[in-house]
A and B are shown apart, each in its own frame.
Chain A
Amino acid sequence: MQNKSLAKFLIGCLVIAFAFYIVFFGLEIGTASIPSVQKVIRYGLDLKGGVYIVYEAAKENPTRREMESALQLIRTRLDMRNFYDATATIQGSKRIRVEIPGVKDPDEAIQYIGRTALIEFKGPSGDLIVSGRNVVDAYAQQTTSGYVVALKFDKEGTKKFAEGTKKYLGQNIGIYLDGKLISNPVVRAEIDSGEAVIEGMKDLEEAKTLAQQIKAGALPFALNVIESKAIGPSLGNEAFKSTLKAGIIGILLVFLFMIIFYRLPGLVADIALVAYIVILVAIVGYAKITLTLPGIAGIILSAGMAVDANILIFARLKEELRSGKTLRAAMDAGFRRALNAVIDSNVTTIIAGIVLLFLGTGPIKGFAWTLTIGIVVSFFTAITVTRFLLTSIINTGLFKDIRWYGGKKTREVDA
């Protein structure tokens, strides 16, 4: 019984140590391998430097589908410029957030991604004939009259364009780019081929650019830049190093604090905290949750909250021991009676975390994720890992003196 308990305790510690090793250093057996968390973790821009840009649809209540096609378009543009590390995500109902690591100047990046041009054909009185959403192709061409951009409409667009050119025969049809008139040709014949050209391009380069913009702008709305930020890589690096260092020192101090105040249970809590950190870091790393600066703060803070669950249990344990119970009975009572407080206090904090998840954006979301996951994990480790290890070590019968459990005077307690 006693040897078995000791074995249980040691095996528990070994499992945690092994998991720690795998997560932080990776594992390779033959061809199978688990990458270390450093290799897979996704760092936020504030940790590695770069640029972010928030675009907003210039239209009230765009549909989800419209937003998704806009997103797809931005992704294509990013790939075209070889920004394979960049991410683009829909934020809320009408915004798209683009993050490009390693780039220094947002204005340059905005140029790179390119403005998405909305092309519109309007009649003399300003009525819309057909817009970019009906354009299926746009390309640059050299003709006898110079460089032009040739457009191809879809079926609906072909019909609309034919109607428009019939109606305004001999009059002007304005070609607008993002609301700006760029060309105002006179309609000389009804066009039902579904093709149109924009004339008056300076050179092939200009024609190519416009064609690309129109293709990109084959959207029901234009996108405006409403927020942009550049973070220097040196700042990101420095921030990460100092925060990590602060975090490690802070957690080591907490470890020390637990051992001093709660002795043997404190040591057990520290081992459980290592398990907590391993699980949390593994989730954040392998589930590809972007780690931001506030995110690290969330981890460190939830570590503090994780300690609280253990403190609650051990404070109870101490009390029960004082009232004369045996170790086993005191421990059971300690866990049982602390459970209510642990559940209630954790749930309320999770409520705050979840509200933050839904209402927060960008870095705040990173904080909310790590805090919420952290609390769930800490609850799990406090009631399972701590309990398993503590039961095992008490059952070894090696630590009977009440001073091992934070008592002030030497006294033997029965297991």
Chain B
Amino acid sequence: MTKIDFMGKRKYFYIVSILVMVVGLISYFVQGFNYDIDFTGGTVLEINLHKVPTAQEISELEKLTKQITGTQTPIVRKVEDGKKIMINAHEVHGKNKTELSKQTRDKLFGEIAKRYNLKKEDLISYQNVGATISSELKSQAIWAVVIASILMLIYIAIRFEFRFGTTAVAALIHDLLIVLTVYTLFKIPLNSTFIAAILTVLGYSINDTIVVFDRIRENRRIAGKMELKDLVNLSMNQTIGRSIATAMSVIVVLVVLYTMGVQAIKEFAFPLLIGVISGTYSSIFIATALWFDWELSTRKKKLQVKPKRA
């Protein structure tokens, strides 16, 4: 069996996590999130250009979109094999900043079709989302995360104890922040699959944390007067093999999905991949370490209290 002193090195892992989150925070203030139309309302057009556009062409396409739709910052990006593009825009001339009218849409595609000599079917898909549905989606996303976390916390508090539940949820929030960092850093569009991705990460991360906690719970019952640090380290060493094996089998599937999938799947697989790695990492280094520090601090208090009584 491996004999790694996980708890002895926990300070380093706290620092690593905090550093990543600081990067995320900076990125958030510098470039924010790339809200997809699911969140902002508007129109997305997916067009097959049959050639990879240059950076120059992309910026020309953005200029064209701005001109026709009035969108202040239209987003044009390459997707899949790079020969297809997605354009995010909204109607500014209307009363609300919402989806493009058929007229505007036809005009925009017509102009692009002229430049690149495209046929009608090269407009692969388009989506219109109204402003009300998108604001609902935002609150829906937040509620989903909050409700899922609370329910999980309650379940763990019942099956284990409150302290395990709290630190497990703290690790969840950690993973959530890491995934959000990835979203802002790589400008992955936040859309409805983002909610699915976030919740999957939560599900996976808690799954992983519980396996480690389960071992601590079990060892605590049978280990007798073992030092807390040794007990936690033993539990970690016992479960690390399984943690890596499970993470590997999920990662393998996600990597294959990412490399072979279409755009929608790619945008889904990448944050999940990060989430699974972060989830594995946090269940070992964050959740357990936090629990350990908490447990240790109360034990020290108890020790300090006892002499006074005596």
A interface, CB within 8 angstroms of B = 46, 54, 56, 106-107, 226-232, 234-235, 238-239, 242-243, 245-247, 249-251, 253-254, 257-258, 261, 293-294, 297, 300-301, 303-305, 307-308, 311-312, 315, 319, 337, 340-341, 344-349, 351-353, 355-356, 359-364, 367-368, 371
Interface stretch of the complex, out of B7-15, B262-270, B286-294, B298-306: B262-270
Given contacts A311-B246, A345-B211, contact A353 B253 (CB under 8 A): no
Using CB atoms, name the residue of chain B closest to A258: B249
Q: Which residues of A contact B116 (CB under 8 A)?
A: none
Query: Across the interface, do B199 and A355 meet the contact criterion of CB distance under 8 Å?
Result: yes
Query: Across the interface, do A297 and B148 meet the contact criterion of CB distance under 8 Å?
Result: no
Complex CA gap A361/B256 in Å reads: 27
Query: Across the interface, do B192 and A351 meet the contact criterion of CB distance under 8 Å?
Result: no
Using a Cβ cutoff of 8 Å, how many contacts connect chains A and B? 202
- Is B28 positioned at the interface, with any CB of A under 8 Å from its CB? no
Query: Across the interface, do B257 and A356 meet the contact criterion of CB distance under 8 Å?
Result: no
Query: Across the interface, do B253 and A363 meet the contact criterion of CB distance under 8 Å?
Result: no
Query: Across the interface, do A352 and B200 meet the contact criterion of CB distance under 8 Å?
Result: yes
Q: Which residues of A contact B151 (CB under 8 A)?
A: 351, 355
Contact of A254 among B155, B160, B192, B249 (CB under 8 A): B249
Q: Which residues of B contact A234 (CB under 8 A)?
A: 121, 124
Given contacts A107-B102, A307-B246, A315-B241, contact A348 B152 (CB under 8 A): yes
Query: Across the interface, do A364 and B193 meet the contact criterion of CB distance under 8 Å?
Result: yes
B interface, CB within 8 angstroms of A = 46, 102, 121, 123-130, 132-133, 140, 143-144, 147-148, 151-152, 155-156, 159-160, 192-193, 195-196, 199-200, 202-204, 206-208, 210-211, 214-215, 218, 238-239, 241-242, 245-246, 248-250, 252-254, 256-257, 259-262, 264-265, 268-269, 272
Q: Which residues of A contact B147 (CB under 8 A)?
A: 355, 359
Q: Which residues of B contact A368 (CB under 8 A)?
A: 196
Query: Across the interface, do B148 and A232 meet the contact criterion of CB distance under 8 Å?
Result: no
Query: Across the interface, do A304 and B211 meet the contact criterion of CB distance under 8 Å?
Result: no
Using CB atoms, name the residue of chain A closest to B121: A232
10 tightest A-B contacts by CB?
A250-B253, A304-B250, A352-B203, A246-B260, A349-B203, A226-B130, A229-B127, A341-B214, A345-B207, A250-B256
Using CB atoms, name the residue of chain A closest to B159: A344
Complex CA gap A123/B148 in Å reads: 53
Query: Across the interface, do A228 and B245 meet the contact criterion of CB distance under 8 Å?
Result: no
A256: min CB distance to chain B, Å: 9
Query: Across the interface, do B129 and A227 meet the contact criterion of CB distance under 8 Å?
Result: yes
Complex CA gap A238/B81 in Å reads: 13
Query: Across the interface, do B262 and A228 meet the contact criterion of CB distance under 8 Å?
Result: no
**Residue from the set A246, A247, A257 with the largest chain B CB neighbour count within 10 Å:** A246
A348: min CB distance to chain B, Å: 4
4 more contacts with CB within 8 A, not counting A293-B265, A294-B268, A359-B147, are A250-B257, A251-B253, A351-B151, A360-B195
